[in-house]
Structure 1
Amino acid sequence: MKKPALDPAGAHSPAPQYPIDSVDKALRILLLLGDRPELRMTDVAEYLGVASSTAHRLLAMLQYRGFIRQDARTKTYRPGTSLTAVAFAILQRFDVREALRPFLEKLNNEFAETVHLAILDGTTVRFIEAVESPRAVRVASRLGQAMPANCTSTGKALLAELSTEDLHRMYPDEQLETLTPNSIGTRAELELEIENVRRRGYATSSEESEEGVASVAVAFPAGNLPARLALNVSLPVGRLSRAEVRQIGERLKETVAEATPLLH
C-alpha cells in the first residue's frame, strides 16, 4: 500500500527519548489520512502492522476527539471537523493567501476577470481568496463559498491530482451531486473529464456550477503544500472562446509553476 508523503519512517527529527507508541500510531494514522481521501480499518491495521482490534481502538479515540469521522454507510473514515479546523488554522497562520495574492492580482490585471484561489476539502471546493473583475458585467467573487468539486473547473483540476483509486474511494457511488443541468452527474463522466484535464494541464467549466459562468483552473502540485490548492479565472460564458480557454490555461500553468516554490 502506498504510504503518505510525510511518512514517519523518514523522521523529521531524532526519536524522542521516551516515545509513546500509541501516540505515534495515532499520528501516523493522520499522516496516512493526509495522503488518502478516506481509510478503512483494514488499511490502518496493515499500515501500522497491528491487529484489527488495535486499529479499531486508535480510530475510535481519534473519532471521539473529532479528528476523523466514520461514514455510516461505507464504514470508511474521513477527516473530521477537529482535523479540518486545525488544518485551516495552520493555513491561516502560514497565510498562503498572502503569499499568492500578488499572483491573483497579476492575473486579474492581465485578463480583467475574476480570479480565485481555492482548496479541496473532501469532495468540496472552498474558495479562500479572490480578486474580482473590474468590468461592469463580471463573475462575482465566490470568496467563502463551498461547492461540489465535480461541478467546478477548480474542483476538477484538484481531483485530477488524485489517483483513480483515491477518486473511487472519494466517490463510491456512480451518481454525483449536481448544481446545474450542465454539471457532471456521474463518476464515469468525471473520470473521462479528469483524463482530459491531465492531458491539457488545466480544467474548464461552462455553466456547470452556475448559469452564465465559465472558468479555467490549474491545480498546484500536491507535494508538501499545506493544502491542495488551485487557481481559477472566472468570467461570463459569452466572453470565453476556445482560443481564450487555451490562453488562460497556459497562463495559469505558468503562474502555478512560478508561485509553487514560494509555498515550500
Structure 2
Amino acid sequence: MPESTKISAVKNVSALDAIEVGPRPQYPIESVDNALRILLLLGDRSELRLTEVADYLGVASSTAHRLLAMLHYRGFVRQDSRSKAYVPGTTLTGVAFSILQKFDVRQTLRPFLEQLNDETGETVHVATLDGTTVRFIDAIESPKAVRVASRLGRSMPANCTSTGKAMLAFLPEERLHQLYPADELPVLTENSISSRTALERELAGIRRRGYATSSEESEEGVSSVSVAFPADRSALRLSFNTAMPVSRVRRTEIKRIAEMMIATVERAAALLH
C-alpha cells in the first residue's frame, strides 16, 4: 500500500473513532462498542479484511473473527466466497434502506417525477440500487389507457432493467466483479442480459451515452429509459426511469426522453448534495 494511501486510511479511522453523538455510558460494553465500530468502518470502506478489523480495533484476530461471526449470523455482514473479505449483509442494507425511505428523498424528488410524468406522458419511477437488486421506491403511472403498470415496492435483478444498468454503469470495475463473481447472470426474459461479459459491454455504452435503455429485458412488451444520479449526491444510488409499451417506442423519442431525463436529474441532484 502506498504511503499516501496509508496516511489517508489512518486519518479516516481517526475520524471514525471520533464519532460520539451521545453521552459516554457509565458502564460501556466493549464487545458491543467494537461491533458498532466495525459497522462504522464498513460504512467507510467497500470491504473489510479480518486483519484490517483486528488492527483497527486493536484486538487479536480471534476476537475480531468472533465479532464478525456474530455480525454475519445476524446478517449485518456477509463474507465473499472468493475473496473472503467481509461486505455489507442483507440485514444492514435492509435497515439502511428502511431508514432512508423515511427521509425526505422521495419528497424531494417527487416534483421532478411529476414533471417527467407530465412531459413524457409515460409511467415514471425513482429506484435505488441494493447490491444486485433494484428497488422501486416511488412511481407515477401514465394517464394513458395503454400503459406500463407501476413497479412501486417491487425488487428486480439490476442487470435485467435499464434502471439497474444505469446505476451499475458507474460502479468501479472491482465492485462490479464483487457483485457478479460468476459470468452467468439471472434473467427475467429471453432478452435479459445473461452474462457479466455482455453486461460490461452494455455498461461501457451507457457511460458514453449517459443513459440506459431496456427493451423487453425485464418484462415482455415493456421498454424503458433510465438516468442515474451522480454517486456523490446521495447516500443512496438513485435513478429516474421512464417506462412505456414497446408499441410506442421510437428511436428519436427514446433520445428525446433521455435528454429530458438527464437535464432533470442534474436539477434534482443539486438538491440532494
The alignment's TM-score, normalised by the length of structure 1, stands at 0.86
Residue 178 of structure 1: which of 173, 182, 187 is its match?
187
d(CA) in 2 for partners of 1:43, 1:109? 54
The answer to whether 1:22 aligns with 2:34 is yes
d(CA) in 2 for partners of 1:80, 1:23? 14
d(CA) in 1 for partners of 2:17, 2:61? 28
What is the deviation of 1:103?
0.6
What is the deviation of 1:10?
4.4
Q: Which amino acid aligns with 1:30?
A: L
Change (3 A) 1:169 1:221: same
Change (3 A) 1:10 1:250: farther
Pairing of 1:37-186 with structure 2 (within 5 A): 39=47, 41=49, 44-45=52-53, 48=56, 52-70=61-79, 75-186=84-195
Q: Which has the larger radius of gyration?
A: 2
d(CA) in 1 for partners of 2:198, 2:114? 34
5+ long unaligned stretches in structure 2: none
The alignment's TM-score, normalised by the length of structure 2, stands at 0.83
Identity, in percent, stands at: 56
d(CA) in 2 for partners of 1:238, 1:14? 54
1:202 aligned residue: 211
What is the deviation of 1:227?
1.1
Whether contact under 8 Å (1:157, 1:219) holds in the other structure is yes
2:247 aligned residue: 238
Change (3 A) 1:12 1:227: farther
5+ long unaligned stretches in structure 1: none
d(CA) in 1 for partners of 2:148, 2:12? 41
Whether contact under 8 Å (1:26, 1:62) holds in the other structure is no
SS in 1 for 2:176: helix
Superimposed CA distance per residue, residues 181-205 of structure 1 (whole angstroms, 9 cap, x where no aligned partner): 1100000000000000100111010
Superposition CA RMSD, Å:
3.0
Change (3 A) 1:14 1:177: closer
Change (3 A) 1:29 1:166: same
What is the deviation of 1:14?
6.8
